[in-house]
A and B are shown apart, each in its own frame.
Chain A
């Protein structure tokens, strides 16, 4: 879970939410729950759409919210707040989303809205965050110390009661839960919830790359590229990248028969990889595996008789990458990729005695180290 202000011990809530979910799942697919609670403090409307039956029900939510808010007296002059929410399935790679709006019950003025999403298989993973959002919308002090122990226990118990076949492994890290909000902080007396920008762990994005490569050319070479990454199921993504490498002048052994000092070598490369994050969330470590192919162009300007060959290089590649989403739509990544060569070329020329001379023999592994800046689409 990643709504910063909601980062709390979650296992109890996790278990309880699953238990409650078992009960709530008997309710119809879409249920309105309007529970005027605490008289003049708030009203709650809660809806679950079809496919979101595992999300907390309106009745359970109402009861838990009342527990969170407890018997705290309402502040003088505080308006009656109308809390409206809807739980629904979310498009892949997410699973569920909840949208909450907070309004003045009298004037219907919109104070703010928030969206919570999760890629967890169980919607109940969102329940603790939802409770905090709702509670703090009514009383900013309500969630200052997190959820009450009784509520957390109930949520955790609910998860445990769902049974081993339904409960996700506790050791597995929860999938990303994200929240978006329309800030309310400008309004005095309104609850403010510290919510970080959304972290969209797997979404289509494009990127531009600067890289350094070895074995493409005789010495390290720099290059630039661009590409796109398309999300697949279960956090997998498909990455395409295209690199152009800075041409390099390769000095040939000094000879009085040469026209110039050396030959020019240029290269370009295309790669397609399947990638998956391994650990982390906003700061993430992942791995990629795929296949790359490229071309090397030779301009033998030093030689009187130029062949100027163009040769392909290709092979499977593996890479490790780290990425940091520093803004909602921006991603900074760095990594290393190595490609095993399936073709072993040896670049030569013939000297004036017609003897072959090798000027470049690429190694079996072509590696690149890269830094890229990506933008979500």
Chain B
């Protein structure tokens, strides 16, 4: 018993000593969050909610009419620098001012600089930002631009950098904010898990960001960013997954309902046609998935779908079809997922569609032409775009008409053209 007592006394003394001289613990840090917003994880939205899956067989696409003539009154915008390339452009629906993201490479510079420029509706350069980023060797860069209703512009730059094949790819998506004077606003935010971003400015401020990770993406993501902070992130965004182009278009209605178009499947058996399906997915203003819809028909591999939307939330999707790379289909879908009119367009190598928010008129750019389809789908007219564009002359330019004008950003050219009525 005495041994036991002695043992207990020793344990007690050791414990007391331990407590007095430093066994007491302290803050034990498990680690730290990164400074990049993770777009691979659902946050702040209805996570785990499944969207209603819609199916529909829309009307067969009817051929759009032939080319009725050229677009009129070409107006070339003032250049920000010699050799500047337009990466993205945004036309403000309220006053026709244009924001454009340029890649500028000086005559003696090996690297291109990314700058943001703002133009008046007549093409006059109003302001240019400082250099936002610099293109470097071994670096892939993709850019997106959005302007919200408060007039704040958001530039999204995605870079992936790998000096050689033996090092891990370094990817980064950064959003930069600018005011109307093109001065930086707020802090820049970096994101993980998204390449080739799509950006749309919101009515009440803030931007929607959508896309999917580079290469192998099991799902896409859509996020609402308010004042440079994530409001919500939804990852229930269907995309094809492995090694294909995924999410390729984003639009947001005035009530905050967002829609994306994405390639749904990379199905190819190794022989025969490589079939591509496009699908739509919509989300309410809180990020809750609403419905998904697989578009009828097969689309051509190697081309992305394009998406435009009206203020009410009706959608227009365009994509290449057939095996000759010279045909596309433009299709209207209501905000509730019902299929409407569809036109087929002849013309090559990709299609891009825009929808005027108020009128719902659709502009589908195909090669060197433009198809204009009214909101009801009752008319489809095709126009050619003259390669010999004119120069800006504000005095001779007619008043800006949001429904009749089209901003063309192609290569080193930023121009406005008018649709003849």
Are these two chains actual partners, yes or no? yes
Give A residues with C-beta under 8 Å from B: 232-234, 236, 254-261, 263, 274, 289-291, 298, 300, 303-309, 311, 314-316, 342-352, 354, 356, 359
| A306 CB contacts on chain B under 8 angstroms | 30-31
Tell yes or no: B27 within 8 A of A by CB: yes
| A349 CB contacts on chain B under 8 angstroms | 29-33
B28 in contact with A258 (CB, 8 Å): no
A255 in contact with B33 (CB, 8 Å): yes
The stretch among B36-44, B64-72, B110-118 that forms the contact with chain A is B36-44
CA–CA, A254 and B230, complex, Å: 12
Given the known inter-chain contacts A256-B44, A342-B19, A343-B23, please indicate yes or no for A232 contacting B4, CB distance below 8 A: yes
Considering the complex, give the chain B residue whose CB is closest to the CB of A290. Answer: B11
Tell yes or no: B26 within 8 A of A by CB: yes
Task: Count chain A CB atoms within 10 A of each CB in B11, B26, B32 and give the residue with the most.
Answer: B32
CA–CA, A261 and B43, complex, Å: 10
Considering the complex, give the chain A residue whose CB is closest to the CB of B7. Answer: A274
A291 in contact with B11 (CB, 8 Å): yes
CA–CA, A304 and B38, complex, Å: 10
A257 in contact with B31 (CB, 8 Å): no
24 pairs of residues in contact across A and B, judged by CB atoms under 8 Å: A254-B44, A256-B37, A256-B41, A256-B233, A257-B34, A259-B40, A289-B8, A303-B30, A303-B33, A303-B34, A308-B30, A311-B25, A311-B28, A342-B18, A342-B19, A343-B25, A346-B27, A347-B28, A348-B30, A349-B29, A350-B29, A351-B32, A352-B32, A352-B35
CA–CA, A349 and B32, complex, Å: 5
CA–CA, A57 and B403, complex, Å: 124
| B30 CB contacts on chain A under 8 angstroms | 263, 298, 300, 303, 306-309, 347-349, 359
CA–CA, A354 and B29, complex, Å: 12
In whole Å, how far is A329's beta carbon from the nearest beta carbon of chain B? 27
| B8 CB contacts on chain A under 8 angstroms | 274, 289
In whole Å, how far is B168's beta carbon from the nearest beta carbon of chain A? 15
A352 in contact with B33 (CB, 8 Å): yes
Partner of A316, one of B12, B27, B38: B12
Partner of A259, one of B1, B25, B38: B38
In whole Å, how far is B213's beta carbon from the nearest beta carbon of chain A? 14
Partner of B31, one of A300, A343, A352: A300
A305 in contact with B233 (CB, 8 Å): no
Tell yes or no: B169 within 8 A of A by CB: no
Tell yes or no: B15 within 8 A of A by CB: yes
CA–CA, A237 and B34, complex, Å: 53
| A234 CB contacts on chain B under 8 angstroms | 1
B32 in contact with A342 (CB, 8 Å): no
Task: Beyond A257-B35, A259-B41, A354-B32, list 8 extra A-B contacts (CB 8 Å).
Answer: A274-B4, A304-B33, A304-B34, A342-B15, A342-B18, A342-B23, A351-B32, A352-B33
| A298 CB contacts on chain B under 8 angstroms | 28, 30
| B34 CB contacts on chain A under 8 angstroms | 257, 259, 303-305, 352
CA–CA, A308 and B30, complex, Å: 5
Top 10 A-B pairs, shortest CB-CB distance: A304-B34, A345-B25, A350-B32, A303-B31, A300-B30, A257-B33, A256-B230, A300-B31, A343-B25, A306-B31
Tell yes or no: B269 within 8 A of A by CB: no
CA–CA, A255 and B12, complex, Å: 44
Partner of B38, one of A257, A263, A289: A257
B27 in contact with A348 (CB, 8 Å): yes
B38 in contact with A343 (CB, 8 Å): no
Given the known inter-chain contacts A232-B4, A350-B32, A352-B34, please indicate yes or no for A255 contacting B43, CB distance below 8 A: yes
| B15 CB contacts on chain A under 8 angstroms | 291, 315-316, 342
Partner of A236, one of B4, B35, B40, B230: B4
Considering the complex, give the chain B residue whose CB is closest to the CB of A296. Answer: B28
| A260 CB contacts on chain B under 8 angstroms | 41
| A315 CB contacts on chain B under 8 angstroms | 15
Kindly identify, within residues 325 to 378 of chain B, every residue whose CB is under 8 Å from any CB belonging to chain A.
none
